[in-house]
Amino acid sequence: MDRRGRRARPLSRLRAAAGLALALAASTALASDRLRPLRAMAWLAPGADLAAALGREPAECLKTPADPALARSVEIGRAAFRDPLLLGGQAARAGLSCESCHAGGRDNPRFRFPGLSGPPGTADVTSSLFSRVRGDAVFNPRPIPDLAGPRATLKTPPEALPAFLRGLVVEEFDGAEPPAAVLQGLVDYMAALDPAACPRAREAPVTLAGHLANARRALAAAATAPDPETAARMVAAARAALFLVDERYQRLPAETQALRAAAARLAPLQAAARAGAPDLARDLDGWLSDSRRLERRLAAREAESLYAPARLSGLQPDRP
């Protein structure tokens, strides 16, 4: 029985647990084209067009605020939105972030997570797969909303967003209490997603430059964060962005080694951020400067990596 007195569904939970196990295995599978070399393949429907699903993403409809302080808050929220560690628990272990469901802050019609989704583009937000608090033992997936769509279509009014987002992180996904600046950043980021700011093209290619830009933007947010814990969260978000690059280059050993060396340099910077080190901004600037040379090296072989649509199309995921 669950906390509301309803009888749990053992088969549903077994299926959900099996789905999560597959997703977790996918996040570490690196060796063969018959495995899932990209973590996001764990939440695609069988038979999905991999070049379309993993080679393109919805264009972000972000209207950067004119106020500098508000713009900095939006950048904090943007980085946290893309970091699986925000959600914590099983979601973080599977590599799920807010952006996994809301790609580019939009919807995600290709999302189909085992045990969490029904048809592609849906998710059960009261699943006990991720939450001990909101799990209701009822499989009731709902369509994933477009956060940059018309405001009238979103069920949560702006004044209720802080409580809603905190509940999502802490209760829906069993994540740790987010710092106040991170929570406010998420609120401000969602408010800055504006239908009027949407590019003419609905989708854009997924590129090395885009992922590295996300890492740099997170580090820039760390340098101006209002408190040490938020700064540390931003460095963690940058490391998460670098993981997305790493898995695309996994079959290019020299480039992977250079990338992992750069990522390893962020670990002590994350600790320094949490400790409130006075030289953090200088050290982050050093990393950012060096990252330009790394990007040139990686870009020279981007066509051989899993950013190339032709190589994505050739993958053969090992699906049950």
Domain of residue 162: give its range. 35-43+57-122+144-204
Based on the fold, state whether residues 176 and 247 are members of the same structural domain. no
**Confidence (pTM):** 0.85
Query: Alpha carbon of 20 to those of 26, 81, 123: distances in Å?
Result: 10, 21, 14
Based on the fold, state whether residues 292 and 175 are members of the same structural domain. no
CA–CA separation, 226 and 190 (whole Å): 20
- For the segment 164-182, what is each residue's pLDDT rounded down to a tens digit? 899 889 988 888 999 999 9
pLDDT at 94: 87
Low-confidence ranges of the chain (pLDDT < 50): 1-35, 318-320
Query: What are phi and psi for residue 107, nearest 5 degrees?
Result: -100, -170
pLDDT at 313: 81
pLDDT at 12: 43
pLDDT at 135: 65
Based on the fold, state whether residues 224 and 293 are members of the same structural domain. yes
- Find the angle CA(62)-CA(63)-CA(64) to the nearest 5 degrees: 105
CA–CA separation, 100 and 75 (whole Å): 18
Query: Alpha carbon of 290 to those of 18, 143, 262, 286, 302: distances in Å?
Result: 42, 42, 9, 6, 19
Closest CA to 83 of 242, 189, 237: 237
Based on the fold, state whether residues 70 and 198 are members of the same structural domain. yes
Based on the fold, state whether residues 158 and 222 are members of the same structural domain. no
Indicate the length of the chain as a whole number: 320
pLDDT at 215: 98
- For the segment 68-107, what is each residue's pLDDT rounded down to a tens digit? 999 999 999 999 999 999 998 888 888 999 999 999 999 8
